[in-house]
């Protein structure tokens, strides 16, 4: 599958989820979703999609923004602000959305999860004082929301900010001893937990260009070993993004993506965010990591 055919097929699939007033549903025939819309904007932009639809969708995201800058899964649940980094990325390069983007940036810089001193007999081994970002307000910081926030802040010029630098230390602290990441625990009761490819890909994407290769070498090796066996869009998409960020894309990307897309015949259409993630991972691999999540200058 070449990049042109992938763009064409992906644009068609995304347009089936586009709503008449702009934005994207989670599935064909569904209702507007904040996270699906943010991911849809990124994937459609990478596929050279309609500028009008992109503009409409970005402005719909602005309507979902709360006064403090956060964007939530639903306005009635303001604690669920994990889509905020995605909105920041979706607004990138849009002058009319710049003020909204900056409000969300300030929200991330001023916000963190719940952190506490680790007791000597605590079951979990990671440094619980290092600050990243949580999925939900007033809970502990975890790998994927932290990785997404680092990516968004780097895209907007805050890669050297103290909050980002601490988040980098947090991610490195959560890296498993034998390589890779999971949701955010390393050892529990002295036992090393398993790595997860999607968490590993997200962390590697966020850290590319900020840390030395040696510090993530074991994680790159884990993902290189794992990627050919992945058959789901989230795990494969993040893995392709993470490897592309370090210029280590596998040689058989097209075959992996085609196999993953073919699974829809058995399981049904993928959810919009998952499909977009797969598309972005495939394009990043084909183009040497140059397709955003953020600009190529990140790497």
What residue spans define the domains of the chain? 3-298
Q: Are the C-beta atoms of 220 and 204 separated by less than 8 Å?
A: yes
Per-residue pLDDT of 29-62, as tens digits, reads: 889 999 999 999 999 999 888 899 999 999 999 9
pLDDT > 70 in the chain, percent: 95
Nearest residue to 104 via CA among 179, 34, 192: 34
**Does the pLDDT at position 297 exceed 50?**
no
Per-residue pLDDT of 265-288, as tens digits, reads: 999 999 999 999 999 999 998 877
Class of domain 3-298: mainly alpha
**Does the pLDDT at position 172 exceed 90?**
yes
Average pLDDT over residues 256-264: 94
Per-residue confidence (pLDDT) for residue 58, from 0 to 100: 97
Rounded Cα gap, residues 29 and 23, in angstroms? 13
Give whole-number Cα distances, 249 to 21, 157, 244, 276, in Å: 37, 26, 5, 18
Per-residue confidence (pLDDT) for residue 51, from 0 to 100: 92
Per-residue confidence (pLDDT) for residue 295, from 0 to 100: 52
Q: Please give the model's pTM, rounded to 2 decimal places.
A: 0.94
Per-residue pLDDT of 124-141, as tens digits, reads: 989 999 999 999 999 999
- Provide the 3-class DSSP secondary structure of residue 120: coil
Per-residue pLDDT of 54-112, as tens digits, reads: 999 999 999 999 999 999 999 899 999 999 999 999 999 999 999 999 999 999 999 99
Average pLDDT over residues 209-237: 97
């Amino acid at each position: 599958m070449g990049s042109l055919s992938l763009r064409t097929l992906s644009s068609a699939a995304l347009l089936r989820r586009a709503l008449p007033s702009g934005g994207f549903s989670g599935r064909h025939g569904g209702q507007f979703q904040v996270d699906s819309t943010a991911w849809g904007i990124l994937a459609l932009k990478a596929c050279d999609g309609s500028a009008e639809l992109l503009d409409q969708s970005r402005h719909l995201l602005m309507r979902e923004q709360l006064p403090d800058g956060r964007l939530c899964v639903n306005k009635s649940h303001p604690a669920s602000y994990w889509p905020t980094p995605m909105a920041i990325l979706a607004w990138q390069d849009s002058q009319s959305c710049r003020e909204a983007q900056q409000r969300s940036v300030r929200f991330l810089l001023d916000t963190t999860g719940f952190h506490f001193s680790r007791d000597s007999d605590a079951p979990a081994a990671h440094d619980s004082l290092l600050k990243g970002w949580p999925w939900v307000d007033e809970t502990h910081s975890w790998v994927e929301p932290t990785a997404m926030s680092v990516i968004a802040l780097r895209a907007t010029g805050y890669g050297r900010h103290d909050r980002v630098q601490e988040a980098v230390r947090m991610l490195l602290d959560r890296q498993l001893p034998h390589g890779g990441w999971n949701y955010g625990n390393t050892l529990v009761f002295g036992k090393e937990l398993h790595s997860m490819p999607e968490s590993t890909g997200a962390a590697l994407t966020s850290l590319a260009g900020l840390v030395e290769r040696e510090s993530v070498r074991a994680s790159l090796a884990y993902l290189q070993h794992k990627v050919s066996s992945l058959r789901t869009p989230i795990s494969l998409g993040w893995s392709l993004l993470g490897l592309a960020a370090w210029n280590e894309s596998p040689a058989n990307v097209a075959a992996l993506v085609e196999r993953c897309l073919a699974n829809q015949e058995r399981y049904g259409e993928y959810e919009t965010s998952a499909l977009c993630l797969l598309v972005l991972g495939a394009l990043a691999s084909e183009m040497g990591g140059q397709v955003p999540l953020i600009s190529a200058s990140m790497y």
